[in-house]
Copies of this chain bind each other. A is one copy, B any other.
């Protein structure tokens, strides 16, 4: 399977980036085609007002590498793992801009929007977080927001890995061993049991075998 891991921290060797790399390693170990990208390498700006900047042919005029990553890496991926530090109780602006700018391709004014919509559907998704603080709701908004995105796209939310750290590399000393958890998460990403039922979903009485 193809998986895209997106590290959205401005720090390339920060805590969430270390966890993202561990997820990538786990995916590769399990035989998947896993790519780790850094948002700052290809994403240079915010969503704009499409009425101002969409070209006559329907293409987005923002000149950076987002178009290529979104169309050639995100859409074809079977799995997507977003890694972000928790800043002010939310995802990084980089990661948010990654989502916001899907609009340039997803909107009906983009000529191939129906292909884009098909490509956005049905992925397995995961979230990798780092934060200084430990109170459980520190991640509530990020997880809630991501959950809604996954459901909207008819995807499967595989799970969350959360390491605690502030200074670079701190997560390596986190007694909860998030680096190991991230590696395992990558390894099991495409096979892990993950459910989101509705009242008429048929399922077994036992969760485990």
Contact = CB atoms under 8 A, between A and B. Distances in A.
A143 B167 CA distance: 27
A143 to B, nearest CB: 5
Contacts of A167: 205-207
A134 B152 contact: no
Nearest to A13: B49
Given A45-B45, A134-B159, A167-B207, 6 more contacts: A46-B94, A90-B99, A92-B96, A137-B147, A164-B193, A174-B208
Contact of A46 (B89, B93, B121, B148): B93
A145 B108 CA distance: 31
Interface in A1-18: 10-12, 14
Contact of A195 (B134, B194, B199): B134
Contact of A166 (B88, B96, B207): B207
Interface in A34-65: 40, 44-49, 51
A103 interface: yes
A interface, size bucket: 35 or more
A100 B121 contact: no
A121 B199 CA distance: 8
A97 B87 CA distance: 10
B46 A133 contact: no
Contacts of A160: 136
A140 B99 CA distance: 18
Contact of A149 (B89, B97, B157, B208): B89
Contact of A143 (B14, B136, B164, B198): B136
